[in-house]
């Protein structure tokens, strides 16, 4: 009497002939390949994407901060200070915590240069990858 593919008679016949059942070998091989190649590759792509996102967001934050600073020079009627620029930048970026360092050379008069440096510590999800301090600096000439 046969009970489908895995019948007792077939099993005993195969054992007498010295044959092995290799039906689970493919699953074990896939587990090795997935564990050693596929998963590290996927997590590497994810970490790279997160790092690129953090760097481009940081660059945009520095650019927005310097734009804010150049239109609020000494003749604008609403002069910006370091705290105002830092609060503006922190409110415009999803990254946290960031350090914002604005500066003006030589002063806040039109024609001077405003500079904003934004720093962020990137913390990866995968613990094998070390953290990295990302910095972006932008500068422009004060217009008003």
Q: What is the pLDDT of residues 123-136, one digit of tens each?
A: 999 988 999 999 99
Phi, psi of 138 (to 5 degrees): -135, 145
Q: Of 82, 85, 81, 117, nearest to 99 (Cα)?
A: 117
CA 44/CA 6 separation, integer angstroms: 42
What does pTM read for this prediction? Answer: 0.77
Mean pLDDT of 107-135: 96
pLDDT at 20: 62
Res. 57 pLDDT band, cuts 50 70 90: very high
Q: What's the burial of 80, exposed, middle or buried (CB within 10 Å: 0-12/13-18/19+)?
A: buried
pLDDT at 5: 59
Least confident of 16-30, 59-73, 124-138: 16-30
Res. 21 pLDDT band, cuts 50 70 90: low
């Amino acid at each position: 009497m046969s009970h489908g593919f895995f019948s007792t008679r077939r099993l005993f016949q195969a054992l007498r002939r010295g044959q092995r059942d290799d039906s689970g070998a493919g699953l074990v091989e896939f587990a090795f390949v997935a564990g050693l190649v596929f998963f590290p590759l996927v997590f590497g792509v994810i970490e790279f994407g997160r790092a690129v996102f953090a760097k481009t967001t940081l660059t945009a934050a520095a650019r927005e901060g310097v734009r804010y600073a150049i239109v609020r020079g000494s003749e604008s009627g609403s002069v910006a200070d370091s705290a105002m620029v830092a609060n503006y930048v922190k409110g415009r970026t999803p990254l946290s915590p960031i350090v914002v360092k604005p500066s003006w050379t030589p002063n806040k008069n039109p024609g001077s240069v405003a500079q904003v440096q934004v720093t962020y510590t990137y913390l990866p999800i995968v613990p094998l990858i070390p953290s990295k301090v990302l910095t972006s600096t932008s500068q422009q000439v004060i217009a008003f």
